[in-house]
Amino acid sequence: MDNTQNTNNDVSREFSPKRTPQPQQNNNAPKNGSPKGPRGPKRSGTFQYSKFGSQRKPRGKNDAVPNEAPVKTKKVTGNIPPVAPGNIRIIPLGGVEEIGKNMTAIEIGNDIIVIDAGMQFANEDTPGIDYIIPNTTYLEERKDKIRAMIITHGHLDHIGGIPLVMSRIGNPTLYSRNLSILMIQKRQSEFPHLPELKLVPVEKNQSITVGNIKVRFFGVTHTIPDSMGIIIETPYGNIVTPGDYKLDHIDGVATPEEEKEYAEFDNSNNLLLLTDSTNIENEGFALPEIKVHQGLENLIRISTGRTIIAAFASHITRLVKIVEIAEAFNKKVAIEGRSMKTNMEVVEAAGLFKYKKGTIITIEEVDNYPPDRVIILMTGAQGEEFAALNRAANKTHKKFRLRKGDTIILSASIIPGNERAVEKLKDGIARQGVKIMSYRTSEEYIHGTGHGNQEDIKWLHRKIHPRFFIPIHGNHFRLQLHKDLAMSLGMREDHIVVPDNGMIIEIQDEGKKIVVLKDKAPSNPMMVDGFSVGDEQDVVIRDRQMLAQDGMFVIIAMIDQKTGKLKKSPDLISRGFVYLKENQELLRQARIMIKQTVEQTTQNMNPINLDYVKNTVGESASKYLYQKTAKRPLIIPVILTV
């Protein structure tokens, strides 16, 4: 999947885990599957904390690191019945209530095939989380039946979860095309403590047999080379998914090459189609990438100053084409941005592209050439804080400065939610006298989506003509729109299932009906938070949201163990709640309230129950502060006895 106006979960964002585990010995690592990891026991309440603050110190070279992130999944699928003989089970485990973290399991008899294992970046609902992966509990409990992991293409929303998923589901053999395999290996290298993957490259038009299931592959058009669709053969017809795709067409007519790729479906018996819903709202056909290449070539040809092109690092086909255009015009190319450099290195290693010696220069060498002979490829079209273009815009880039006469081409649409960041980026660029061109303002085509629009999708439905249909890759309203489109093409409503994550769907009665079971596989998203990986983060996330909204209020009180009375006035600490120096009366009244609450609670209490006192003080302080300020800070009472 590429980043379009509807998406934000692929390799275009620079992935840099906050704490990438290293293969070092850890004497404190959890044992016997204990859910207690390097951060200690899970905190179960709002008011009881063993330490303050949430800042994470950088890990030193001698700090201990766990051999594997502790997992906090609940084994709750034991009551789900096994697949009955002759039935086919489909379980979307991710990517159907959101865009991202795509994963689907196909279960036939004693064999399970898993398609993709993506990730999703954190958002405002998951503060502090590194990223999110699908819940694999169902697969973990049936790992002995998993015969293969098949990856459609190398974008992070399809491969990002592989390092943490594979070791939990038995590390089955992974099949994909060459470039995707290399990108998976590159990502796996960031997790050297995890088991080595068993990787098998395949090609389009190739077939494999895993367990008792035959699988075939076909090529599809996307923004990354080596994208492929999957055909799973069953006794009742084929299960088909093209992954992420669009048509390569000329004025709405598929090219001969495209027709050739899909020719086998003309007369085949196709039982089920699972296909992308990302651009279901967009009318017409998706813009073919060749139009974008032509537009960029025209702009590069007439440029009189330095040309800076900000694009998604995931749009590998486009990046390669830009380098080819530069070579044709005898221009130099500097690539700035870790993810973009990595992707170009992987493409070269895959043998898909070989640039001429001297074409690629470093960012430090840019000023050694005339401005009109230089093209700079940069990450950061979405205004990401630490991306190369944003650092150039706010003048914090250590090796590069924008200057008057430069032209910046934003070869990317704005991902929903990034509007303000992009506006700020443009402001910073414009203040430096730099010309900005976007897909909305340019007379040339400079960006196109990697996902099919409505007419591409209709073409695919007509070509596959499946008996049943499950829309995937999109949040719920997009899946419903895709259902409506399929019905407009003549498909019966009872032959379509709009899924949720974890929904167990079966094709029964020898392929004659599709049903949804009342049982459901665990679907709570697995949140990767430092070394912790689990679905039991509700309390932690809620506390982080409270801290972000209203801050925290710490109460430190010392109680005489014998009398239960305060030894001195309680200390109060506010962070992100109120400015203490300007709220002295509030604090004075708060101290009086806390003193009364403590001494009333401990009256005739022997011995003193500190947990009860903490809870009582926390609840009273919360009510009092809300009455006075209409805010609900996170209350942290610390009660000490002397």
- Tokens (6 digits) for 635: 């209350």
| Residue 92, H or E segment | strand 88-94
- Tokens (6 digits) for 606: 């022997």
Selection from 476, 479, 510, 511 nearest residue 495 by Cα: 511
Q: How far apart are CA 210 and CA 107, in angstroms?
A: 12
- Tokens (6 digits) for 239: 């299960």
Asked whether 21 and 188 are in contact (CB, 8 A), the reply is no
What residues have CB less than 8 Å from 429, skipping those under 6 apart? 392, 393, 402, 408, 436
Question: What are the residue numbers of the active site?
Answer: 276, 451
Selection from 324, 380, 379, 316 nearest residue 347 by Cα: 316
Asked whether 152 and 229 are in contact (CB, 8 A), the reply is yes
Nearest 5°: phi and psi at 356? -70, 150
Nearest 5°: phi and psi at 395? 60, 35
What residues have CB less than 8 Å from 267, skipping those under 6 apart? none
First vs last C-alpha separation in the chain: 61
Pairing of strands 111-115, 103-108: antiparallel
DSSP 160-183: TTHHHHHTTTT---EEE-HHHHHH
| Residue 250, H or E segment | strand 249-250
Give the C-alpha distances (Å, rounded to integers) separating 58 from 91, 126, 382.
40, 22, 27
Asked whether 252 and 285 are in contact (CB, 8 A), the reply is yes
In single-letter form, the type of residue at position 109 comes to: G
Nearest 5°: phi and psi at 382? -100, 10
Q: How far apart are CA 620 and CA 17, in angstroms?
A: 40
Q: How far apart are CA 436 and CA 61, in angstroms?
A: 44
Selection from 248, 217, 243, 249 nearest residue 231 by Cα: 217
Give the C-alpha distances (Å, rounded to integers) separating 148 from 80, 105, 456, 507.
22, 10, 30, 21
Q: How far apart are CA 16 and CA 386, in angstroms?
A: 11
| Residue 459, H or E segment | helix 454-464
Selection from 158, 188, 111 nearest residue 10 by Cα: 158
- Tokens (6 digits) for 260: 């050739």
Selection from 640, 633, 586 nearest residue 46 by Cα: 633
